[in-house]
Every structure is written in C-alpha cells, then in structure tokens.
Amino acid sequence: MARKQSTTAAAALARTWEYIKVEQQGKVAVVRLNRPKALNALCSPLFHELNSALRAFDNDPAVGAIVLTGFYKAFAAGADIKEMADTQFVDNYKNNFLGHWAEITSVRKPIIAAVQGFALGGGCELAMTCDIIYAGDNAKFGQPEIKLGTIPGAGGTQRLTKAVGKSKAMELVLTGNLWSAEDAERAGLVSKVFPHETVVDEAIKLGAQIATYSQVASQMAKEAVNKSYELSLGEGLHFERRLFQASFATKDQKEGMKAFAEKRVPEFKNE
C-alpha cells in the first residue's frame, strides 16, 4: 500500500502519526519526535513521517516557520542501530541508505531546532540540517559513531566542520566526546542556550517573529545563507545580489519599503 501523503497543514494536523506529534501555534508549526522509549532513535519510518509532515507545513501558506523538537531526555539520541547494524554495503549503496534523511534540506521555510537532552550521531546531524539551533541547558551534542566502528553518514563530517571549523569538528568526530550546550554555543553550533523548560517556547517565539515577515523574503534569505556553504565568495556575492534584485519584483518589497517611509507596520501578503 502506498504511504499516505499529507499535503497541507490541516491534513498533517488531522493525521494520526506513530513516530511524531504535530501542532500549530499561530503561524508556527511544531513537530515533535515521539519515540521516547528509544530516546527518539531515528528509524526509517520516523523519517518518512517527519518528511511528510515537513512537506505539508512547507506547502501551506498559513505556516511561516517550523520548530522541530523532541522531549526532555532526548532531541534524538542517534540513528536506530538495531535497524542498520546488519545491513550490507551493496544494499545500502543501491538503495541510497540514509538518502531520505536529506529531504529536510529541501524545505523552503525556516526550521528551528529546539534541542533538549541528547542530540547524538544522527540526532546531531538532524539538528544541523535545521536553520537555527536553540539548546536547552541539558542538551548534549556529539558524533560518537567512531565508538561503533564507523563514521557519521548524514552530515556529521561536513556540516559540523562548516559550523565549527576543522579542528573542533575533527576532535568531536575522532573521539566521540560530547559537548554541553555551553560548549556548543561557544563553538558556534547553536545560537542560544535557554533553561530546558523554556527552550521550546523560545523557539516558537522566534518562529512567530520570523513568520511576521514576508515568506518570499525569508525563503530568499534562507536560500542565500545556505548557498554560502557551497559557493566561493565571489559566486556567493553574485547569487545574493541577484536574489536581492529579484526581491524588487515582489509586492512585499514594495509594501515593506512603503510602510517604512510611512512609519507604520507593513502588511505582507507573501507575494
């Protein structure tokens, strides 16, 4: 049977999920990983549900930002080792094992990770696919795959290096040591640290602020920042300038600058 796809926020909110929970607070969608007994270990069915929910919220104009979180003990303690332990190279290669983990990077709307507890291995990699990371003061980050005789496979050697630099990334990947929330903030992996009781609320508050702006502009801004990881400085500046120029074809740019001149709050239409 084909997997049911949710294409709107209403459908996602009405659907019964097994591995996630979803809600909407104003213009902010909240997706909670929900395998508490397994500390939110990232199995394939969970990722299929996550991708489906994110796709639905991304396609709904009533949603301006998305918060991704777990629960007090774990954002996600890693990949589901039992699921992958006995897999073989040829099958993994032919089936593009973990390829569906990258679908989150195609979401156009800003995603804020609100991390409590463990964000290890695949959990740390999942957080890094988000656009902003807020950490609770009980958060622990790490890439402990070396202790299992393997290496990170969903961005741990790539996104981590770009976020914190070669030396810090190399130390984390080669030792499997963990970083506290404060360590992660100092290294530049997370934006801010909050008490764990309030980190999700703070992420939702940030999402609500972002959602007040033009969705066209926020998507352009996200695209431009992400391109900086892939382009040279000259190419990146050219790409940024073209998007900036393109924004002048939108109604929201005209409204935003007109409202500024008239000293009033702009009324963006996402057009």
Catalytic residue among 12, 117, 145, 211: 145
**Residue 202 appears among annotated catalytic residues:** no
**Residue 70 appears among annotated catalytic residues:** no
Residue pair 120/40 in contact (Cβ under 8 Å)? The answer is no
**Residue 121 appears among annotated catalytic residues:** no
Catalytic residue among 78, 122, 142, 256: 122
What does residue 262 show for φ and ψ, rounded to 5 degrees? Answer: -90, 0
Residue pair 255/269 in contact (Cβ under 8 Å)? The answer is yes
**216, containing H or E segment:** helix 215-227
CA distances from 179 to 64, 139, 149, 152 (A): 31, 8, 20, 16
Tell me the C-alpha distance between 164 and 184, whole Å. 9
* Beta-sheet pairing, 178-180 with 132-136: unpaired
Catalytic residue among 49, 125, 185, 202: 125
**Residue 125 appears among annotated catalytic residues:** yes
Catalytic residue among 9, 65, 79, 114: 79
Tell me the C-alpha distance between 190 and 233, whole Å. 24
Which active-site residues does the annotation give?
A: 79, 122, 125, 145
